[in-house]
Amino acid sequence: MVTAADLPRIMGIVNVTPDSFSDGGRWATTEAAIAHGRHLLAQGADILDIGGESTRPGATRPLVSEELDRVIPVIEALSAEGAVLSVDTMRSEVAEASVRAGAAIINDVSGGLADPEILRVVAAHDVDYIAMHWRAHSTHMQDLAVYDGPGGVVAAVCEELAARIADAEAAGVRRDRVIVDPGLGFAKRGTHNWDLLRALPALDELGLPVLIGASRKSFLGALLADDQGSSRPVDGREAANTALTTLVALHGVWGVRVHDVGAASDALRVVAQLRSNPGGSADPGGAQ
């Protein structure tokens, strides 16, 4: 029998920002963000990832005070209701305040490079830490999407993530608290993202849980481009992302970070059924 522990965690995205690439402004107020978080929980989210800074290519960074004003009231409210929360931040000040407000996970897209002090926050509070592959801030990260060495993007990402893991351990973070994310779309061209998705076994060799965040990203839009070459709009990429969710779940990743929690939840129910019925026992859905 397949249990919830055998399936990826669903991390629902709550962007408390005016400029995120997929839903900028929709949940920018505290009240809207809290309501959206509740909606994602009702759809089946295991974790809510609360972010106050857009990391889309070209995004302008908010002040620390702005980021705090965006995320802390949302974390306080949803934590009081029993939600498991992650804070999506690169800043040690925001990480510290978020953990005190109730966040259980720090999701750092820079893997500690933007603000190394964040690793000491993780160690001091002994919380889970998601270290993503990252090379630069949004304003120029795509300039660094060059992987010319032996093994290409897969080897480079694995090597650089290994360095981030070593930095975390050196700062006192327990290894069993670390989750890695290959950073799809961050300093990556379209083909780089597909190469990484094909190479999940290589990421597994790092010996740590893997989070995949492909939701609505531009490489999916490019794949689904129309006959004129125009990328599929953000709101038309969900079916492709659900397909990816199914595939990476079959591989056995630790978690998927998604906007559409309902679709991801349905995909994982399919995966659970495929895994739990290897002998072709009775179909719970009937004859059709």
Q: CA-CA distance, 206 to 220, in Å (whole number)?
A: 26
A 10 A CB-CB count for 72 gives 22
Q: CA-CA distance, 107 to 33, in Å (whole number)?
A: 18
Q: Which two tokens stand for residue 206?
A: 């790092």
What is the total residue count of the chain?
A: 288
Q: Catalytic residue numbers? A: 217, 257
Burial, 39: exposed, middle or buried (Cβ in 10 Å; 0-12, 13-18, 19+)?
middle
Q: Which three-class secondary structure state does DSSP give residue 189?
A: coil
Q: Which two tokens stand for residue 160?
A: 């650089």
Q: CA-CA distance, 101 to 149, in Å (whole number)?
A: 43
Taking CA atoms, 40 is separated from 71, 130, 165, 249, in Å, by 17, 21, 30, 19
Check the CA dihedral 233-238-240-245 and report its sign. Answer: positive
Q: Which of 15, 25, 73 is nearest to 49 (CA)?
A: 15
Quick check: 211 and 11 in contact, CB under 8 A? yes
Q: How far is CA 140 from the centre of its chain?
A: 21
Q: CA-CA distance, 244 to 224, in Å (whole number)?
A: 14
